[in-house]
Structure 1
């Protein structure tokens, strides 16, 4: 009898972590790779919009309580995108802005609508680097790089995908970002660039 009782206790001890993992599948640290569509536009309408490709890596940590998920996340991306704007400082001038690396830190709030499916919203701080080439319209050019602070809001869906292992997942996400106060032509100008992105991610949770 003592042997049976001891065996039952050991089985319970080993089963409890596995059961907790099944009940909270969105808990723990994770890493991912991301890629997708990137649209950059000047909200003043001067340069219209341009489409490009965004790509990068990210990671974070989530904690699940019942069906609610709270998480912190970070991301580093780059982009092929660039946009041109006219009449920035004076009539006849122009600038070409090329998107570079983008650093993001934020939080997300989600709800597990199924044991393997998470819907979430997110928001946080983003800092993007832009390369500029400024033409004053009378033959003088200047250029360089500048960083711009902004904010990001988004929403997405995450699905566990065991092809990548027990912690594998895929994500689809839309996010909107806004950046201001670029240094163009040796002047600090409120250029107010908007950014729309639709991305997919593949990752693993540990």
Structure 2
């Protein structure tokens, strides 16, 4: 379904561009809105004096955000550019343990994500651009632990994790500076560990995203 939607979007965007005869190199400042599929793979370990939780699974959600950038032509067939962005996500993973005397619940949520990087692209057709991107990411991870039997162990915490991302996509230009794009991005974050008296929680986080964007080039 995701592939069909992405192909459909590119087909619609490419229709008016096919009628143009001259190659147009995208250049200058741009701004775009983005939305898509977010797949976060969480490796979680949590323990206290009585129980231990382990989980390694992917969770899917919706990612949404914005990006700004600046592109410079490299001859008639290529461009190089820089960009920065911010996005949020609905992705969350929870572990629940029911035991004699109470219930504990440990939830980890993907928070805001900041990106900055560079991209290199190759032009095809009148307004098509095939590009690759790589850069720095800073993602926020939020965790909340509750225990009905030992409420003194309850906590809520968050941390910002550095990492890197890489990906690629296809961008199609339309008239009057408007463009559309579809891209895939992989992100890897540094591991996270939280220790609070008798409770220990560890988290490793990877991310896969397929997003569609609509933007305007000034």
Q: TM-score by structure 1 length?
A: 0.77
Q: Deviations over 1:31-67 (max 9, x none)?
A: 0000000011125782411111010111100011221
How many Å apart are 1:81 and its aligned residue?
Answer: 0.8
Distance 1:154 1:137 in 2: 43
Contact conserved, 2:137 with 2:164, CA < 8 A, in 1? Answer: yes
State which of 124, 135, 159 in structure 2 corresponds to 1:146: 159
Unaligned 5+ segments in structure 2 are: 1-21, 45-53, 97-103
Contact residue 50 and residue 82 of structure 1 kept, 8 A: yes
Looking at structure 2, the residues matched to 190 and 111 of structure 1 have their Cα atoms a distance apart, in angstroms, of 41
Aligned twin of 1:197: 209
In structure 2, the partner of 1:33 is 33
Secondary structure of the equivalent of 1:192? Answer: strand
* Structure 1 counterpart of 2:73: 64
TM-score by length of 2: 0.73
* 2:191 and 2:205 in contact (8 A); partners too: no
CA separation of 1:137 and 1:121: change in aligned 2, threshold 3 A: farther
The count of residues paired between Structure 1 and Structure 2 equals 178
Question: Which residue number corresponds to residue 42 of structure 1?
Answer: 42
Unaligned runs of 5+ in 1: 1-21, 87-92
Matched, 1:55 2:64: yes
After superposition, give the CA deviation of every residue in 1:106-162 in whole Å (9 maximum; x if it has no partner): 010110022200000101000011110136897322111111111101110000022
* 2:170 alignment counterpart: 157
What does 1:174-193 align with in structure 2 at a 5 Å threshold?
174-186=184-196, 191-193=203-205
2-side partners of 1:188 and 1:24: how far apart?
Answer: 56
Q: CA offset at residue 85 of structure 1?
A: 5.9
Question: Following the alignment from structure 1 to structure 2, what is the Cα–Cα distance between the partners of residues 175 and 122?
Answer: 8
Which is bigger in relative contact order (C-alpha 8 A, separation at least 6)? 2
TM-aligned CA distance change 1:151 to 1:189, over 3 Å? farther
Greater CA drift, 143-152 or 195-204:
143-152
Match of residue 111 from structure 2: 100
Find the aligned partners of 1:159 and 1:188 in 2 and give their Cα distance.
48
Instruction: Trace 1:106-121 onto structure 2 (pairs within 5 A).
Output: 106-121=117-132
Which structure would you say has the larger Rg? 1
Higher strand share: 2
